[in-house]
Structure 1
Amino acid sequence: MLSKIVISLAVFAGVFYLARLFYPFFASLSERWQKKRIERITPKLDRMFIDVPLNKLILLDVLAPLVCGGLGLLFFRSLWFAAAGGAIGLLIPLFAVKRMEAGRRQKFAGQLVDGLMILSSSLKAGLSLLQAFEALVEEMPAPIAQEFSLVIRQMQMGAPLEEALADLKKRMRLDELDLVVTAMLVARETGGDLTVTFSRVINTIQERNKLIGRVKALCIQAKLQGVIMSILPILFGFFVYKTNPAFFDVFLKDPLGRGLLIYAGVSEALGIFFIRKFSRVEA
């Protein structure tokens, strides 16, 4: 009995010593890794004019994998699903920011025609291009007002128009905006009438949007079929696990079953990727 106590104390002391020895290394490694993740997210949030405190970003980055991993363990009672949930949780912040960027970019594209109409009307009224930008900022909502306010600020600080518009293109990465900026700069260099240029660009963008809308409408059926076919295997597996856990245990406890489960997950992910890839309409 005494020997067991001594062995237990020795093991505890050894583990405690190793934990204290390696804790600074792993803590430093974790801090550097988390810092890199935050540095990837923060500039994107700044470009979208979203001010999130650093401590909240870190909290979200820590909680997301813990919550998803806990849900995987709670529903499936398996460390494999807990690990998969934790991995998904790590991707959630990056995915959320990416979706927010895409939504903001799409909203900007939808406001671009109205913004060009305001610019054209302002120039016809005798205002300068900078004053036309200011009129656009006053009359239009975010995000186009936010982006052109940055353009105005850069020009007021001495940056040339070409540089300010080039930075705007880099931030938004829109084909429609590339067309607008190129037409605007060419018209200024050649002495063309910007109001006529804006009218032609507006017509071009409107016709382009109509064509893209028709193509997207034709792709809706393929996308819907892809979503249904992607969800069905997951729902069926969850149903089998809940109604007959013993049947599903083969996939969790047997090495061959786990391999098949991983193969099914990878195949499912590849199927979703290719369906989305083939049904995507490049604007």
Structure 2
Amino acid sequence: MLTGQTLLYFIYVLAAASVILTAESLYVSYSARRVRTGTINHRLARLAEEVPAEKTLQGLLRERGLTEAGDYISGMIALNRLYTQSGITGSPLAFAAMFLLAGLAIALVLPLLLRFSPIVGLLAFWFVGIALPLLVLRRARNRRIQKFAAQLPDALDMIVRSLRAGHPTTVAINLVAREMADPLGTEFGIVSDEITFGLSLENAVRKLSQRVGFEGLHLLSVSLSIQAKTGGNLTEILGNLSMVLRERQKLRLKIRALSAEGRVSAWIISLFPVVMFCLLLVIAPSYYGGVWNSPLILPAFLIFGAWALLGDFIMYRMVNFDF
């Protein structure tokens, strides 16, 4: 009886210990997840994984399509630059292969299963496999640049305050890397790491301008280069640049507000024929009769489609311009 009672107590102890260990493991994983979620930018999250700073820098550059030295990894410089400036992480080859395979699958399905013309399959492959990834990259790059442009004046003000407090330039840049969110926080963190591992400030900022593609960073790179060669008050230079960038941002938003009517009109004019065509196909499939069998239908669609795209491009240029 004593042996059985001892065994029962032992089972109770094991059960209690398992419950405590389970609760502790859940708490630790939840706490680690909260720490990762509360990390202000991607670089700090990578550093929190207790990976050496040099490997973290190499990983950040590699996932943006760059070599360890910060150069483009592909010989197609324009495409590699677009991929890097978009901020999409991962392998550029995997990104391109995903769209090419999707376009090839659609191009095979349309003629074989849905009995569409091979020309339609070829056009679908061109759009999905070639045009769509470029559109995705351009849109991601434009959104990232806009976000970076909104953050940069505040970052320059932070650097100016740090310099006036007596900190070196590298410490001021590292402060921005710790306090600012993405995309600016990670990009300035890469600049801080590159300076730490021996790159000059001018070259690090020049590489930053190439990675982001924002023209304000080109002004920053030129300002730092001139200040390094001729001297001058760096805090005053950065303060003036911050004010100029902030005023340009205000002007850009004002222009966007004034041109909103033109953009909406362009969308309505462009989408109205397509929407009506689809509605007629759904509501009255026989509305167009035997016109689909005409040999002129495909050239007509191509000509009028190209004409509509030309009109869309003209309206786009009317409401989007440099200043």
TM-score in same-fold range (> 0.5): yes
Matches within 5 A, 1:101-250: 101-248=141-288, 250=290
Residue-by-residue CA offset, 1:189-238 (whole Å, 9 max, x unaligned): 33322122222112212222222221221111111101100001111222
The separation in 2 between residues aligned to 1:250 and 1:134, in whole angstroms, is: 69
Q: How far apart are 1:163 and its partner, in Å? A: 1.7
The separation in 2 between residues aligned to 1:219 and 1:150, in whole angstroms, is: 37
Q: How far apart are 1:135 and its partner, in Å? A: 0.6
Amino acid at match of 1:62: L
Q: How far apart are 1:131 and its partner, in Å? A: 0.9
Where in structure 1 are there 5+ consecutive unaligned residues? Answer: 1-35
**Greater helix share, structure number:** 1
Q: How far apart are 1:84 and its partner, in Å? A: 3.3
Amino acid at match of 1:104: R
Residue-by-residue CA offset, 1:17-50 (whole Å, 9 max, x unaligned): xxxxxxxxxxxxxxxxxxx999976665455261
CA 1:234–1:57: 2 relative to 1, 3 Å: same
CA 1:63–1:237: 2 relative to 1, 3 Å: same
Stretch deviating more after TM superposition (248-257 or 218-227):
248-257
**Structure 1 segments of 4 or more deviating over 6 A?**
36-40, 71-74
Task: Say which structure, 1 or 2, has more relative contact order (CA 8 Å, 6+ apart).
Answer: 2
Stretch deviating more after TM superposition (119-128 or 172-181):
172-181
The separation in 2 between residues aligned to 1:116 and 1:164, in whole angstroms, is: 16
Matches within 5 A, 1:248-267: 248=288, 250-267=290-307
CA 1:164–1:53: 2 relative to 1, 3 Å: closer
Q: Is 1:50 the counterpart of 2:89 in the alignment?
A: yes
The separation in 2 between residues aligned to 1:280 and 1:187, in whole angstroms, is: 34
Alignment match, 1:16: none
- Does structure 2 conserve the Cα–Cα contact (< 8 Å) formed by 1:112 and 1:144? yes
CA 1:193–1:269: 2 relative to 1, 3 Å: same
Residue-by-residue CA offset, 1:116-145 (whole Å, 9 max, x unaligned): 011111111111111111111001111112
The TM-score normalised by the length of structure 1 is 0.75
SS at match of 2:296: helix
Work out which of the residue numbers 266, 269, 277 in structure 1 matches 2:309: 269
Alignment match, 1:29: none
Q: Is 1:63 the counterpart of 2:120 in the alignment?
A: no
Percent identity (aligned):
23
The separation in 2 between residues aligned to 1:236 and 1:49, in whole angstroms, is: 36
Amino acid at match of 1:88: F
The separation in 1 between residues aligned to 2:107 and 2:243, in whole angstroms, is: 48
The TM-score normalised by the length of structure 2 is 0.67
SS at match of 1:245: coil
Q: How many aligned residue pairs are there?
A: 247
- Does structure 1 conserve the Cα–Cα contact (< 8 Å) formed by 2:110 and 2:116? no
Amino acid at match of 2:90: D
Alignment match, 2:5: none
Alignment match, 1:9: none
CA 1:243–1:105: 2 relative to 1, 3 Å: same
Alignment match, 1:95: 135
Amino acid at match of 1:85: A
Stretch deviating more after TM superposition (40-49 or 106-115):
40-49
- Does structure 2 conserve the Cα–Cα contact (< 8 Å) formed by 1:68 and 1:89? no
Q: Is 1:85 the counterpart of 2:124 in the alignment?
A: yes
CA 1:166–1:132: 2 relative to 1, 3 Å: same
Q: How far apart are 1:112 and its partner, in Å? A: 0.2
- Does structure 2 conserve the Cα–Cα contact (< 8 Å) formed by 1:120 and 1:199? yes
Residue-by-residue CA offset, 1:257-283 (whole Å, 9 max, x unaligned): 222122121112111111111211325
Amino acid at match of 2:187: E
The separation in 2 between residues aligned to 1:113 and 1:277, in whole angstroms, is: 28
CA RMSD of aligned residues (A): 3.0
Stretch deviating more after TM superposition (81-90 or 173-182):
81-90
